[in-house]
Amino acid sequence: MGVPNTVLSIKWGTAFGAFDVNMLFRACLAHTPNDLKFVCLTDDASGLDPRIDARPIPDIALTPEEAKRPGVWRKLSLFSPDIADLGRVLFLDLDMLVVGDLSRFFEVSEGAVFQNMGESWRPEPRSDEKITGTCIFSFDTSGESSVLDAFLARKEANMNSWNNEQEFVGAHVSHASYWPEGMVVSFKRHLCHRNGMGLFAKPALPLPSASIVAFHGRPRPSDTREMTLWGTFPHLHLGPVPWIENYYRRFG
């Protein structure tokens, strides 16, 4: 048996629970043709599917106050040597919806490949700007520990000079590139309607070419299940989304 495809996730606090981890695991399992290893770094493994490899979140010497600062700095524990045994992984945030074959994401063999979160990631790009997003990225856990080393060497200065961990990661990995357009779509930017149209029309279905629907900021997937108004301007919508409801029934 060959080395399984590995998906890595992380969960702490109360923003997401075991339900969200288990749903992501089942969706990945359904869309990965070959063997899948699913790892969750967490401060609370209760309720997780027993097939999930639950591990403690590596300690990266953040004080409780530093861990709460804006920037999601605790996520840099992904670059701890404590998990170097995992080798190459596909990291997914817990608010990603897996809707298609993940095989393409496991074909990466070198460097780090990120989701572009810039203004070029829109149906009608506003510019050619690309911004590193760590919501969905492939990297070798045994080859990028220098990212964490660089952060810890000047921890306070780094937290003050960088907006968030993903900007820092993009600037410090050995080699950064981006997923081809269409593999990942933004729920807000590509599927939601704008300027009040969402009050009368449901968000679109993702195209068959998309494997992942990314939720970033608000709304989160669970927000769309409300019978009331959800989202933020200009992407306001009303009521549940049929295809997301089907996703929850299948994997939740």
Question: Mean pLDDT over all residues of the chain?
Answer: 94
pLDDT band at residue 1 using 50, 70 and 90 as cut-offs: very low
Q: What is the pLDDT of residue 155?
A: 96
Residue ending a domain, choose from 159, 180, 201:
180
Q: Which strand ranges, in their side-by-side order, compose the sheet holding 5-11?
A: 53-56, 36-42, 5-11, 88-92, 132-140, 112-116, 176-178
> What domain count does the chain have?
2
At 137, which CATH number? 3.90.550.10
CA angle 140, 128, 110 (to 5 degrees): 15
Residue ending a domain, choose from 128, 145, 180:
180
- Does 25 lie in the same domain as 49? yes
- Does 191 lie in the same domain as 153? no
Q: Give the pTM.
A: 0.94
pLDDT band at residue 3 using 50, 70 and 90 as cut-offs: low
What angle do helix axes 242-251 and 18-30 make, rounded to 10 degrees? 90
Mean pLDDT of 233-251: 93
Q: Is the pLDDT of residue 217 over 90?
A: no
Specify which residues 214 forms β-bridges with: 96, 186
pLDDT digits (tens, 9 = 90+) for 60-87: 999 999 999 999 999 999 999 999 999 9
- Does 197 lie in the same domain as 163? no
- Does 234 lie in the same domain as 141? no
* Full domain range(s) for residue 222: 186-251
